[in-house]
């Protein structure tokens, strides 16, 4: 990066940090967010040649109202970072494939990531544990030491450090320590538990725990994240919540999903736990079974039509675009393959767009490439 770029980057960093801090209470100012996103995208377009090529083509096609969003597949094949490789402080990678490439998120600086993740974590997972109080932590995921390129493990490591007492990561070398899990969950006298993990680890636990049932102390909570892509079994969210509620003996409102992606620096959460703990009302639910994921105020998220890239009206199905202000050193505007509907509070996920392949002997890309995520 040149000296002038460096100065511009530092100025933007300060501006973003100030924006995140100013909106830590969850209140949104989408006009200010839009203006700052424009500045960040412009900076990134000047610094990242492949983003510049993509943005130029989008403008040539007349699509210039918003900064160009980069589809996530591009992260698998092209380096997307404003800084040179030697300045990478951390690289988060998407799950692997045997034949294809893994998406990479090159981070030069984790300060924006950390700030955003902790604000969101405190707001949606630990709103009742502010001021340095800590909650017992049981984590069904590998530790950040075991998988330093997993953004999820990194975030859980942050939570372990800031919100949890005696946290234990129970997924090691791909195996769940279910005996330890039983022991920890039976320790009722030690107070409520935060049970955090990937959706598939919870499914592992379901199988490993057999007929065991638990009654977690009042104030306990569960956060699950990630889908079932490439897995042999999958559960829809309401089924998963019912299963967890029955297994661990806690209210379904205390079971929430987190949504994040390797290519992003920010996370979305369901608001039910916060509402339960603080007595707030969440009425923006399109159906009894669907839950809304709430983005932080420094993120703009909306579904678009996959051909026109136009925003679809609220309630209609489109593919989710996410503009994340805290992705300063990579790409702020990301186009996912997740199907979603917008609501006034946030978005409702409706699965992944790759899933539907017409029946027949035709190509099923994930199968052909031997996805082993």
Partner 1 sequence: MSLRLVDSVADRLARALACERPLDRLGGARRAELLAAAIPRFESRARESIAELEASSGLKKANLLRGLSDALESMSLERFIEILERAERSAPPGTRPSPLGLHLSILPSNVFTAPLRALILPLLFGNPVIAKASSRGDRLAHLFADALTETFAEAEPALRDALFVLTFSSQERDLLERLLVQAKSVAAYGTDQTVRAIRELLPAQTRYQAHGSGLGLALMDGPADEATLARFAEDIIAFDQRGCLSPHALFTLGDARQAAEALERALSAASFRRPRGALPLELASAQLQWRAVGEARGELIEGHDFAITIEPAGPPRISPGYRNIAIIPLESKTEFLRIAASFGQRLKALGIESEECASLIDELPLLVSPRISRFGEMQRPAIDEPWEGLAPHEGFVLYRAAW
281: contact with partner 1 by CB under 8 A: no
By C-alpha distance, which of 340, 325, 281, 275 is closest to 28?
Answer: 325
By C-alpha distance, which of 40, 33, 76, 36 is closest to 55?
Answer: 40
Can you list the positions of beta strands (E) in 227-355?
255-259, 268-270, 293-294, 299-304, 318-324, 333-342, 347-352
64: contact with partner 1 by CB under 8 A: no
97: contact with partner 1 by CB under 8 A: no
Task: Kindly write down the DSSP assignment for every residue of 27-86, as one continuous string.
Answer: ---HHHHHHHHHHHHHHHHHH-HHHHHHHHHHHHTT--SSPPPEETTHHHHS---SS-GG
72: contact with partner 1 by CB under 8 A: yes
Contact status, residue 237 vs residue 243, Cβ threshold 8 Å: no
Q: 337 vs 343, which CB is nearer to partner 1?
A: 337
Query: Taking the complex as a whole, how short is the minimal distance between the CB of residue 92 and partner 1, in angstroms?
Result: 19
Stretch that binds partner 1, among 7-15, 76-84, 182-190, 276-284 (CB under 8 A): 76-84
Contact status, residue 260 vs residue 279, Cβ threshold 8 Å: no
Of the residues 28, 63, 78, 311, which one makes contact with partner 1 according to CB under 8 A = 78
Three-state secondary structure call for residue 113 = helix
Query: Taking the complex as a whole, how short is the minimal distance between the CB of residue 254 and partner 1, in angstroms?
Result: 31
Of the residues 99, 172, 188, 213, which one makes contact with partner 1 according to CB under 8 A = 99
Query: Taking the complex as a whole, how short is the minimal distance between the CB of residue 130 and partner 1, in angstroms?
Result: 40
Q: 42 vs 252, which CB is nearer to partner 1?
A: 42
Q: 62 vs 358, which CB is nearer to partner 1?
A: 358
Q: Which residue has the tokens 């950390």?
A: 114
| Interface characters, 298-337, with partner 1 (x: CB under 8 A) | -------xxx-x-------xxx---------------x-x
Phi, psi at 46, each rounded to 5°: -75, -25
Whole-number Å distance between alpha carbons of 6 and 319 = 34
Q: 21 vs 231, which CB is nearer to partner 1?
A: 231
358: contact with partner 1 by CB under 8 A: yes
Whole-number Å distance between alpha carbons of 56 and 62 = 10
130: contact with partner 1 by CB under 8 A: no
Q: 369 vs 372, which CB is nearer to partner 1?
A: 369
Whole-number Å distance between alpha carbons of 103 and 86 = 18
Query: Taking the complex as a whole, how short is the minimal distance between the CB of residue 264 and partner 1, in angstroms?
Result: 16
Task: Summarize as ranges the residues that interact with partner 1 (CB under 8 A).
Answer: 50-51, 53-54, 57, 70-74, 76-78, 99-100, 305-307, 309, 317-319, 335, 337, 339, 353-365, 367-369
């Amino acid at each position: 990066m040149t000296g002038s770029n460096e100065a511009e980057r530092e100025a933007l960093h300060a501006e973003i940090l100030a924006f995140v801090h100013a909106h830590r209470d969850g209140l949104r100012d989408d006009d200010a967010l839009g203006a700052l996103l424009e500045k960040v995208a412009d900076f990134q377009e000047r610094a990242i040649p492949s983003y510049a090529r993509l943005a130029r083509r989008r403008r040539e096609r007349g699509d210039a109202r918003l900064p160009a969003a980069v589809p996530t597949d591009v992260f698998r094949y092209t380096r997307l970072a404003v800084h040179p490789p030697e300045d990478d402080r951390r690289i988060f990678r998407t799950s692997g494939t045997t034949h294809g490439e893994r998406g990479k998120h090159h981070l030069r600086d984790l300060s924006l990531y950390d700030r955003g993740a902790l604000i969101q974590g405190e707001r949606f997972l630990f709103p009742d544990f502010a001021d340095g109080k800590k909650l017992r932590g049981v984590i069904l995921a590998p530790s950040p030491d075991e998988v330093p390129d997993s953004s999820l493990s990194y975030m859980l490591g942050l939570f372990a450090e800031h919100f949890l007492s005696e946290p234990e990561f129970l997924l090691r070398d791909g195996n769940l320590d279910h005996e330890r899990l039983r022991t920890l969950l039976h320790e009722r006298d030690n107070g409520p538990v935060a049970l955090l993990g990937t959706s598939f680890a919870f499914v592992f636990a379901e199988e490993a725990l057999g007929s065991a049932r638990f009654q977690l102390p009042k104030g306990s909570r569960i956060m699950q994240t990630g889908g079932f892509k490439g897995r042999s079994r999958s559960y829809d969210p309401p089924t998963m919540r019912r299963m967890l509620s029955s297994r661990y003996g806690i209210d379904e409102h205390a079971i929430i999903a987190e949504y994040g992606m390797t290519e992003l620096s920010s996370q979305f959460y369901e608001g039910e736990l916060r509402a339960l703990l603080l007595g707030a009302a969440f009425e923006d639910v399109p159906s009894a079974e669907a839950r809304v994921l709430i983005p932080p105020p420094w993120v703009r998220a909306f579904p678009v039509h996959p051909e026109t890239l136009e925003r679809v009206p609220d309630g209609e199905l489109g593919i989710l675009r996410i503009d994340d202000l805290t992705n300063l050193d990579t790409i702020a505007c990301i186009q996912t393959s997740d199907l979603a509907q917008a609501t006034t509070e946030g978005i409702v996920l409706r699965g992944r767009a790759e899933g539907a392949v017409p029946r027949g002997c035709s190509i099923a890309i994930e199968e052909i490439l031997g996805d082993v995520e």
